[in-house]
Amino acid sequence: MTETLTALEVCCCGNCATAGHPKEVTRPLTAAEITQRNANAAAAATRRATEDAAAAAKAAAKASGEAKLKALGLSDAEIAAL
């Protein structure tokens, strides 16, 4: 079974009944819209991966710094105060 991606277009003119058109129209996405959707999803995944890697690097740097301060003889309370 193939999934059909759709777009919901909502009119904001306020007088759809008198203008003679529907307030909402559901239509299949065009090939260009599907391509853009896929590109946006890939960009979001890349951004998330980059942010996750940065967060992991920050956590590793913090742990390394705390370990070095411990090696210098600072207590947990002193390290937390820094």
d(CA 45, CA 52): 10
* pLDDT tens, position by position, 8-42: 999 988 888 888 888 999 999 999 999 999 999 99
pLDDT at 1: 60
pLDDT at 55: 98
Return the structure tokens found at 47: 């951004």
| Residue 6 near residue 28 (C-beta atoms within 8 A) | yes
- Please name which of 44, 5, 47, 12 lies closest in space to residue 26, comparing C-alpha atoms: 5
Local structure of residue 72 (DSSP, 8 states): T
Q: What is the pTM of this model?
A: 0.64
* pLDDT tens, position by position, 58-72: 999 999 999 999 999
Half-sphere exposure of residue 6: CA atoms within 13 angstroms, side-chain side: 9
| Residue 4 near residue 30 (C-beta atoms within 8 A) | no
